[in-house]
Chain A
């Protein structure tokens, strides 16, 4: 039986969140999706801060919220929550912040502080115990925030973009540390993130939300290889075109056509990497059967390559060498042809919830 089993339904004017989430002890579920997809609402509903309109939240044998009138308040659930803005209590020192949870749950002050010290040590910030939150760095503050959430020994740890507010270097270091701590943690972690790297390095499962529904669920590798939504394709840096397949011919949503090497029937995603796209100024005459005219919308360095965005089809990304970018005179507004070989394109069925 899953440790966490939840059907979260929250209705708001204009959009509805309706998603099922089940996870076993030790699972780290990354929730990704565009802004407004319902990621934060999902976390808040699990925490008990936002009431469900329907569905249930069960943790172990306990029903936290659910059919009928059962509803535990946030303070009665065994959750720890970490917010993007950290929200350390500014009037309490670091030690008192971490001891706040145990103290609120009735642990005597001395013991609560002892536990808090233990958590600060595990996060390598014990020397900050007597400092105020205003006197520590962003990376340190996020370590303290996570320690504070874990100090109540929750069975469900909710992380809302824990690394988003940090500088790139600091986030990188903390990501490695966090991965270590999450491996040692035996509850369920739900991690909302905008960063593909977080999902790949911290999570063993990915839940993709799109407009309040689960668009895809799987291991990070699966989701990255075969993204179902454009948002995830962007996150992992792939081109994904949606269309209807008959044999190896795919009719795309906007009327354009595409040929792949893998036959399929019905609604599909056609996926290919930006480096599989060739750009030319003249209409190509070679064997490549997928060619579309378009206008360059942006050009930016990407690693050792140059990443070009085109308005061809429903928007394409192409990686070219700096040399050919110069030679083709690539700049916003430039008309080019994009070519993709059929063998470079993977076609797979569209998930049922997105049809």
Chain B
């Protein structure tokens, strides 16, 4: 692994130079953001009620979206990984669509489906008086829509990576299919579920296009952090920088916390061996 004297010779410049460019390209904007941040103003901004509202809303909606995504995503991933049915390939393609869909298109699509005059939205409105667009619930819907594919793909991959023979063993031991899922399949896919969870949450936290299209940008109800950054950028670019740094710090903190837990588990696993 060392750069000095690898068995196959030095890494070729043709690969090293573009790789270095890629690193610079990734790092530069983040470094610039940190450099431009008016650090002394940070504490004051952090206690600004408008910013706190946006931050709280972002955390609540992104976490709610994660709950929704887990509740419907695990069963869908299991279906894709474990049950052979006609149209499975088509269904998998459908799951991937929101992944490649421009977020603003996702927002328009959500309006067509769940908007007040939308296909299903109208029925919801008529029958229960429920209207999703421009509400906090609508934010959760938008977040869930864009985050679900990340989670499903991650969990499906983990399910496929674990041998189905474990399921077979569990069945010969008398376990019903549900018990097999609960006690064997799902625990074995645990790391994949966790990874998918973080991916989905990160995607939801940063969601902007679909959210602002479907749920709007009302302070307190639908103005999440990305919406707040967008709003601030138009009037006060410095404030936008501060908000961006806060969002960056929150993301990094959560990832670091999770990584630490993963790291602990990995160490424990190594000790057991």
Q: Which residues of chain A have a CB within 8 Å of any CB of chain B?
A: 47-49, 73-75, 77, 79-81, 83, 85, 87, 89-91, 100-101, 104-105, 131-132, 134-135, 148-149, 152
Q: CB distance B165 to A83 under 8 Å?
A: yes
CA distance A101 to B184 in the complex (A): 12
Q: CB distance B272 to A152 under 8 Å?
A: no
Q: CB distance B171 to A132 under 8 Å?
A: no
Decide yes or no whether B123 CB sits under 8 A from chain A. Answer: no
B115 to chain A, nearest CB (A): 44
Decide yes or no whether B188 CB sits under 8 A from chain A. Answer: yes
Q: CB distance A104 to B163 under 8 Å?
A: no
Selected from A48, A87, A134, A135, the residue in CB contact (under 8 A) with B169 is: A87
Q: CB distance A89 to B176 under 8 Å?
A: no
Query: Which residues on B sit within 8 Å (CB–CB) of A48?
Result: 172
Q: CB distance B190 to A74 under 8 Å?
A: no
Selected from A80, A85, A101, the residue in CB contact (under 8 A) with B165 is: A85
A13 to chain B, nearest CB (A): 17
Q: CB distance A132 to B272 under 8 Å?
A: yes
Q: Which residue of A has the minimal Cβ distance to B173?
A: A101
Total chain B interface residues with beta-carbon distance under 8 A: 21
Interface centre among A47, A91, A104, A148 (most CB of B within 10 A): A104
CA distance A100 to B167 in the complex (A): 12
Query: Which residues on A sit within 8 Å (CB–CB) of B183?
Result: 100, 104
Query: Which residues on B sit within 8 Å (CB–CB) of A90?
Result: 188
Decide yes or no whether B175 CB sits under 8 A from chain A. Answer: yes
CA distance A104 to B183 in the complex (A): 10
Query: Which residues on B sit within 8 Å (CB–CB) of A148?
Result: 173
Decide yes or no whether B170 CB sits under 8 A from chain A. Answer: yes
Selected from B163, B171, B184, B188, the residue in CB contact (under 8 A) with A75 is: B171
Selected from B166, B174, B179, B272, the residue in CB contact (under 8 A) with A89 is: B166
CA distance A292 to B163 in the complex (A): 51
Q: Which residue of A has the minimal Cβ distance to B172?
A: A81
Query: Which residues on B sit within 8 Å (CB–CB) of A135?
Result: 272-273
A42 to chain B, nearest CB (A): 15
Q: CB distance B272 to A134 under 8 Å?
A: yes
Query: Which B residues, 143 to 201, have Cβ-Cβ distances below 8 Å to chain A?
Result: 163, 165-166, 168-176, 179, 183-184, 187-188, 190
A317 to chain B, nearest CB (A): 37
Selected from B171, B179, B273, the residue in CB contact (under 8 A) with A74 is: B171
CA distance A77 to B163 in the complex (A): 22
Interface centre among A48, A74, A81 (most CB of B within 10 A): A74
Q: CB distance B168 to A100 under 8 Å?
A: no
Query: Which residues on A sit within 8 Å (CB–CB) of B174?
Result: 75, 101, 104-105, 152
Query: Which residues on A sit within 8 Å (CB–CB) of B188?
Result: 89-91
Query: Which residues on A sit within 8 Å (CB–CB) of B272?
Result: 131-132, 134-135
17 inter-chain pairs at a CB distance below 8 angstroms, sorted by A residue, are: A49-B172, A75-B174, A77-B172, A79-B172, A80-B173, A87-B169, A89-B170, A89-B184, A89-B188, A91-B187, A101-B174, A104-B170, A104-B173, A104-B174, A104-B183, A149-B172, A149-B173
CA distance A9 to B190 in the complex (A): 39
Selected from B166, B168, B179, B269, the residue in CB contact (under 8 A) with A104 is: B179
Q: CB distance B172 to A80 under 8 Å?
A: yes
Q: CB distance A49 to B190 under 8 Å?
A: no
Q: CB distance B273 to A87 under 8 Å?
A: no
B170 to chain A, nearest CB (A): 7
A117 to chain B, nearest CB (A): 17
Query: Which residues on B sit within 8 Å (CB–CB) of A49?
Result: 168, 171-172
Q: Which residue of A has the minimal Cβ distance to B269?
A: A134
B124 to chain A, nearest CB (A): 40
A99 to chain B, nearest CB (A): 10
Q: CB distance B173 to A73 under 8 Å?
A: no
Q: CB distance A152 to B165 under 8 Å?
A: no
A207 to chain B, nearest CB (A): 21
CA distance A185 to B227 in the complex (A): 70
Not counting A91-B188, A134-B272, A149-B172, a sample of 6 additional A-B residue pairs whose C-beta atoms are within 8 angstroms of each other reads A47-B172, A49-B168, A75-B171, A100-B170, A100-B173, A135-B272
Given contacts A89-B184, A91-B188, A134-B272, contact A75 B176 (CB under 8 A): yes
